[in-house]
């Protein structure tokens, strides 16, 4: 009885292992074939796991916050811009809002005011009290030297000259 039980357990484990190996080979061959035959469809063949492991989504947010605070303290706009690019493209762009607000108010950096507008408009629209708050950040952005062509506020288009 015991030997039959051991035999069944070994048989089940081997069967599962072989089927998993076969499944992995099919996924790999499908992905590589798609990438070779049709470059436009190569993104559709990428698995969710591969996307979630992308550097854009796995940024060390503590590191970005520390670098952002260092940028504010040193008034380093170049480093701030790099940090904010990574925040905006990450899976948690709203974490960069505090860095943008501090850089804007502490160092009067026009791009930071514009980043506040961008984050509030795109990612936190439900937390904005009124359009006048957003216009304030656009106005401060312009006053502090940041140039932009036009922006959208709800259904309205606001040109740089109109701010």
Give me the mean pLDDT over the 5-33 stretch: 46
**Is the predicted pLDDT of residue 142 greater than 80, yes or no?**
yes
Could you tell me if 42 and 66 lie in one domain? no
Could you tell me if 76 and 115 lie in one domain? yes
Residues paired with 157 in a beta bridge: 152
The token duo for 146 is 């940041």
Structure-token match 């502090």, residue found: 144
Could you tell me if 34 and 66 lie in one domain? no
Residue 69 lies in a domain: yes
Q: d(Cα 115, Cα 99) in Å, to the nearest integer?
A: 10
Residue 67 lies in a domain: yes
Residue 70 lies in a domain: yes
Could you tell me if 75 and 122 lie in one domain? yes
Residue 28 lies in a domain: yes
Q: d(Cα 41, Cα 30) in Å, to the nearest integer?
A: 12
- Over residues 69-87, the pLDDT tens digits come to 999 999 999 999 999 999 9
Could you tell me if 31 and 71 lie in one domain? no
Could you tell me if 71 and 16 lie in one domain? no
Could you tell me if 150 and 125 lie in one domain? yes
Residue 52 lies in a domain: no
- Over residues 102-138, the pLDDT tens digits come to 999 999 999 999 999 999 888 876 667 778 889 999 9
Structural domain span for residue 147: 61-162
Predicted TM-score of the model (pTM) = 0.63
Domain tally, the chain: 2
pLDDT the model gives residue 61: 87
Q: d(Cα 7, Cα 137) in Å, to the nearest integer?
A: 71
């Amino acid at each position: 009885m015991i030997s039959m039980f051991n035999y069944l357990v070994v048989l089940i484990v081997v069967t599962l292992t072989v089927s998993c190996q076969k499944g992995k080979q099919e996924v790999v061959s499908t992905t590589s074939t798609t990438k070779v035959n049709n470059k436009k469809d190569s993104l559709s063949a990428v698995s969710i796991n591969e996307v979630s492991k992308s550097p854009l989504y796995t940024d060390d947010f503590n590191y970005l916050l520390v670098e952002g605070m260092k940028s504010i303290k040193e008034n380093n706009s170049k480093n701030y811009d790099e940090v904010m690019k990574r925040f905006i493209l990450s899976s948690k762009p709203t974490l960069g809002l505090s860095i943008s607000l501090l850089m804007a108010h502490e160092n009067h950096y026009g791009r930071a005011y514009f980043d506040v507008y961008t984050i509030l408009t795109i990612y936190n629209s439900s937390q904005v009290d009124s359009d006048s708050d957003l216009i304030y950040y656009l106005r401060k952005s312009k006053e502090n030297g940041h140039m932009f062509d036009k922006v959208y506020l709800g259904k309205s288009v606001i040109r740089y000259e109109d701010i």
